[in-house]
Structure 1
Amino acid sequence: MSGPLTDGPVVVLASRVRAEEKRILAALRRRGVDCAHADTRTLAGAPTGSAADRPLVLNREIGHARAVYAGTLLEAGGAVVVNSAAATEVCGDKWRTALALGQAGLPTPRTHLALTPEAALTALDELGYPAVVKPLVGSWGRLVTRVADRAMAAAVLEHVAALPSPRAHIVLAQELVAGGRSIRVVVVGGEALGATWHRTEGWRANVARGASAQALALRPDQAKLAVRAADATGAEIAGVDLIEDADGRPRVLEVNHGVEFTGFQDATGIDVAGHIADHLVTRKACLEAGGDA
């Protein structure tokens, strides 16, 4: 396998080194951990390898497809990857996330999968309006559309049908849960670190779209739900998005495998990078002891 994966026992994999990756690398170094950054774009290899040297890799690749394939490539070569390729694939696909959450018996918004834009119109009729139309893969609320009625849905889906990618024609239709807050819970190693809620003037509460993160006292039921959601998808490190209904009851909206935590950390004062570094130190110690990481 080519690429700088032998530079250190702990490798942070990313094609873009953002504030989060810089903080994680700094936290590892403060703990005396030999670590290095590897650029995902440099990786190439065969589908088999040796597990003799099992490097520990934190997968922070921002592109979903490249993150999944990087994970499978590295795991095939004997590396231990956090989050695993399987978890990355589930979390990066909204339908597969919904399936995993549903199979775990967790509360979620009602969700239908439509294999064509035409079928999506039927699914929306069954869900009722207003509703939300989502692509299978995407971040920061891009291409997520609130549809108020059937006429608006038909117009949106006409544009979806004109997109060039066949995968883009597969549509997630979801009920719009209104009246409550959008909550982000960061989970690391089975622990809910804390929570923020997102204040916004619009209906999409993505920080990347201008929403502001406000610290929130995390209730035990919210913490338990977030940990169960991360566990259902296999994610060791996750940003779990909850949505409250008008009565304050939380449902799981999404589980993000490559959580961006700068806004969360600034709002709460919680050292997320430090918690991630501590989790990796524990995993590394387990590997060195010959245990199952």
Structure 2
Amino acid sequence: MTPATRPADAAPFGVLASRLRTDEKRVLEALERRRMPYEFVDSRALWRDLADTTARWPVVLNREIGHTRALYAARALEAAGCTVLNSARAIELCGDKYLTSVALRDAGLPTPRTALALTPQAALDALEAIGYPAVIKPLTGSWGRLVAKLPDAESAATVLEYVAALPSPASHLVYAQELVDKPDRDIRVIVVGDEPVGAVYRRSSDWRTNVARGAETLRCEVTDDIAKLAVTAAQCVGADIAGVDLIEDAAGQLMVLEVNHGVEFSGFRRALGDDAPVADRIVDLLAARSASCSG
């Protein structure tokens, strides 16, 4: 991506978040280093009158950590005429594992065998068809929370009995997926503006390879296959900034597991250092999108 510049009198970018983590601070530092004006927008204080269609920030980087707040912030800002990265549509697709899976399937990308059951009882039939071992996951959520590994039908029946007792009807929807026989790692690729910034292996002794659960990040070469799969996955959900998770099966074939709209990149940077300037690439994208909006 070619670095873009902005006129000195250009309207400021908006950077939306409720928490300034290390990742957000790096983006703000990159904006300041390049003397690009911005305003930090605390999502906890954000409100928009529907009649107000004034885009105070023509381009907004949405770094809100909460899915619901991020989604409706994007919707409200887009209704006011702002360009939001990522868009409400991308957040909606990425934030729901089933919608992501449908988009990946429609794009013809390889994924683990997946099913959606509308009741815990139906999930037993779905899991039987998929085969054990398998996993069930909440439709929304991250960091590997509430993901259950099911080695056999007996364990599935026990777990799904608890699922059936949950009070929320949404909790009774079961996203079921085959457990791919993979190495003790997956691959995280960060894509910004339809280009891969880099890739890391996330290695763990646990079957879940989330950095938030203590996984180790190691450099991974971005091969042509990895680049093509990751970029296409980000494009099919409309994500301008994405963390794409890939896995390798026992034969070494790549599959797309999921696409994350609010990608964190501190562990990524620890593994790749200056070879993966994620914050600068995000700023390049903001500037390019601003130029296209004003042009």
> So what's the TM-score if we normalise by structure 1?
0.94
- Paired with 1:161 and 1:212, the residues of 2 have a C-alpha distance of 35
Alignment-derived partner of residue 268 in structure 1: 272
- Paired with 1:255 and 1:13, the residues of 2 have a C-alpha distance of 21
Alignment-derived partner of residue 104 in structure 1: 107
Alignment-derived partner of residue 216 in structure 1: 220
- Paired with 2:55 and 2:65, the residues of 1 have a C-alpha distance of 28
Q: 1:281 aligns with which of 276, 284, 287?
A: 287
Alignment-derived partner of residue 6 in structure 2: none
Q: Contact (CA 8 Å) 1:243, 1:252: kept in 2 or not?
A: yes
**SS of residue in 2 equivalent to 1:183:** strand
- Paired with 2:257 and 2:19, the residues of 1 have a C-alpha distance of 26
Q: Does 1:86 align with 2:92?
A: no
Q: Contact (CA 8 Å) 1:229, 1:240: kept in 2 or not?
A: yes
Amino acid paired to 2:285:
H
Cα offset, 1:194, TM superposition? 1.0
**SS of residue in 1 equivalent to 2:191:** strand
Q: 1:248 aligns with which of 244, 248, 252?
A: 252
Which runs of 5 or more residues in structure 1 are unaligned?
1-7
Alignment-derived partner of residue 152 in structure 1: 155
Q: Sequence identity, in percent?
A: 58
- Paired with 1:277 and 1:261, the residues of 2 have a C-alpha distance of 14
Cα offset, 1:51, TM superposition? 5.1
How large is the Cα RMSD of the aligned pairs? 1.4
- Paired with 1:159 and 1:15, the residues of 2 have a C-alpha distance of 33
Q: Contact (CA 8 Å) 1:49, 1:78: kept in 2 or not?
A: no
Amino acid paired to 1:286:
S
Alignment-derived partner of residue 261 in structure 2: 257
Alignment length (residue pairs): 283
Which runs of 5 or more residues in structure 2 are unaligned?
1-10
After TM superposition, list the pairs within 5 Å mapping 1:104-183 onto structure 2: 104-180=107-183, 181-183=185-187
Alignment-derived partner of residue 58 in structure 1: 61
Q: Contact (CA 8 Å) 1:185, 1:192: kept in 2 or not?
A: yes
Q: Contact (CA 8 Å) 1:184, 1:195: kept in 2 or not?
A: yes
Amino acid paired to 1:20:
D
> So what's the TM-score if we normalise by structure 2?
0.93
Cα offset, 1:251, TM superposition? 0.4
Alignment-derived partner of residue 195 in structure 1: 199
Q: Contact (CA 8 Å) 2:13, 2:57: kept in 1 or not?
A: no
- Paired with 1:170 and 1:38, the residues of 2 have a C-alpha distance of 35
RCO greater where, 1 or 2, for CA within 8 Å and sep 6 or more? 2
Alignment-derived partner of residue 38 in structure 2: 35
| Range with greater deviation from structure 2 (22-31 or 38-47) | 38-47
**SS of residue in 1 equivalent to 2:71:** helix
**SS of residue in 2 equivalent to 1:100:** helix
